[in-house]
Amino acid sequence: MSFLPKSRKARTRLLLLSVIAPVVAVAVGLTLWGMRDSISLFYTPSQAAEAKPAPGRAIQLGGLVKAGSVLKHADGRVEFTVQDQIAADRVVFQGDLPDLFREGQGIIAEGAYRHDGIFEAKRVLAKHDETYMPKEVADALKEQGEWRGDGAPPPAYGTPGKSGI
């Protein structure tokens, strides 16, 4: 008993399919493998603490800039803390910040964690007007119960009784 079809035309199609399918599978696999470093996942500081992305892995870190955390150096390097309600991460950025960057502002920093746990940003994005916040940041803040949309005052981090970072 043979598993091959009796028709010559059907056998030819089956042979053609058995040759093309592995070639397509290898091509898709190589494409995905080649793109693995260009995919940038979005995390809030608490999600990043949970996921523990590998040092050097490109990600987007989003949250609010902690009040009093911005430190500008003479060489153009800027250090600040990005936080959500649960965690905070120190960010280092070399370059010009967006005009709308300020404390209490929702931002997204694109970059990677260093081996010492500090996030090194390659690019910093800030909201462009008073009502806009990047969708990823807004969704993450709503999920954590920290959303302050429609003119509500910013959350009071670092107040007595709360753990400030």
What is the reported pLDDT for 36? 75
What is the reported pLDDT for 32? 86
Low-confidence ranges of the chain (pLDDT < 50): 159-165
Two structure tokens written together for 90: 């120190």
| Model pTM score | 0.61
What is the reported pLDDT for 127? 67
What is the reported pLDDT for 165? 47
* CB-count burial class (<10 Å; 0-12, 13-18, 19+) for 26: exposed
Domain 41-143 in CATH 2.40.50.140? The answer is yes
